[in-house]
Amino acid sequence: MSGYDKADLKRRMDGAVDVLAGEFGGLRTGRASAAILDPIHVDAYGSSMPLNQVGSVSVPEPRLLTVQIWDAGLVKATEKAIRESGLGLNPQPEGSLIRIPIPDLNEERRQELTKVAGKYAEAARVSVRNVRRDGMEALKKQEKDKEISEDDHKRMSEEVQKLTDEDIKKIDAMLADKEKDIMTV
């Protein structure tokens, strides 16, 4: 039977949860972490590239990140991407090196990070729902093509919905944990 593959749908939905876990890992509270820059994309060479593909990120001090840009022509674009990332960072370019001091976590900064976490979680929910839609469309097509019965379609649709609900619940729990982590002084 082609089209509907429960294991593949589960793998893809879990993938969205794994991506979210990585993004949350980057939302560090008061310490510098190279992962905080992972979600940032830079407009380079006519496309949007992950920041770690235009330079190397390091953490020379607990409250400082640096990005060594490989192509000096991309310093401005990288600085702009960091500044506009919504992470509240203020990049300072020095030649092809960009210094990024990590600000203290005041209340306003915590609120900003909570909003960013919420955006990441919503993107993960959308990914999970897109996988759900793909599964449901595959089932609909298989029933229409007489590959599965109406009862099979109903049963499998319920399976897909169950997988979706489980991962959405996981995402919501991860978000609640991350918000608590961010707001804890």
Instruction: Provide mean pLDDT across the span 25-33.
Output: 68
Strand partners, 36: none
CATH of the domain spanning 31-101? 3.30.1360.40
Structure confidence by residue, pLDDT tens digits, 30-65: 667 777 888 889 998 899 999 989 999 998 887 889
Domain with CATH 1.10.132.20 in the chain: 6-23+106-183
Select from 75, 73, 120 the least CA-distant residue to 99.
75
Please say if the pLDDT value at position 183 is more than 80. yes
Average pLDDT of every residue of the chain: 89
- Give the right CATH number for 6-23+106-183 from 1.10.10.350, 1.10.132.20, 1.25.50.10, 2.60.40.10: 1.10.132.20
Range 177-182 contact pairs with CB under 8 angstroms and sequence separation of 24 or more: 178/24, 178/27, 178/117, 179/114, 179/117, 179/118, 181/29, 182/27, 182/29, 182/110, 182/113, 182/114, 182/117
pTM for this entry: 0.67
Please say if the pLDDT value at position 77 is more than 50. yes
Structure confidence by residue, pLDDT tens digits, 136-156: 999 999 999 999 999 999 999
